[in-house]
A = this chain, B = another copy of it.
């Protein structure tokens, strides 16, 4: 149960790393756990695991198990997850337009 539609949306993207994950999966639809962790350095193993799990529960991410040994699992965005990209882009665009660049450690978009 969410307070309102804004809160509901925010819950899904609030996590410190979720947008990064969203963008990673958007640019490569066959991403494995370790690849994510490498690209999102310095994210912790446990945190990445938690955030992905939440995104799966929220229906944003899909988990595909190849049932191979050694384990081979790929993550990709669901349609719902993809539909979130334009919204996130809008947030980024506003940030680029209104926040002084010197205040940013790095940029995601553009």
Contacts and interface: CB of A to CB of B under 8 A. Distances in A.
A87 B91 CA distance: 6
A92 B5 contact: yes
B91 A6 contact: yes
A96 interface: yes
Interface of A: 1-10, 14, 19, 80, 83-84, 86-88, 90-92, 94-99, 103-109
Contacts of A98: 9, 80, 83
Contacts of A106: 3-4
B105 A94 contact: no
Contacts of A6: 19, 88, 91-92, 95, 108-109
Contact of A5 (B1, B3, B4, B107): B107
A104 B4 contact: yes
